[in-house]
Amino acid sequence: MFTIEHDFDATVITLVDEGAAHLEEDVTIQGFEECVTVEQYDTREDKVVKIVLSMHQVRELAAALNLPEGVYRLKPKAG
């Protein structure tokens, strides 16, 4: 299950792990104009862990999800 909310300066997606065994904490993804953040609560450390991806990294991640194993470089956008 996931939710999508549009805030003033970001789009917030929350991914909820709905399974039978070994459920993970919710993942919150916030999309801003200049970057995307991914957050998840780490029960071992008792803190929220956050990573920040540039928009270029997000585009590469999206492309990578649909490609076979290998090394790639995306072509820059024209314009």
pLDDT tens per residue, range 14-64: 999 988 777 899 999 999 999 999 999 999 999 999 999 999 999 999 888
Entry pTM: 0.81
37 found inside a domain: yes
12 found inside a domain: yes
State the total domains in the chain.
1
74 found inside a domain: no
Sheet strand arrangement including 11-15: 2-6, 11-15, 27-31, 35-42, 47-54
73 found inside a domain: no
With cut-offs at 50, 70 and 90, classify the pLDDT of residue 65. confident
pLDDT of residue 79: 63
9 found inside a domain: yes
Task: Give which of 1, 41, 58 is closest to 14, Cα–Cα.
Answer: 1
With cut-offs at 50, 70 and 90, classify the pLDDT of residue 76. confident
Domain that holds residue 57: 2-64
Length of the chain: 79
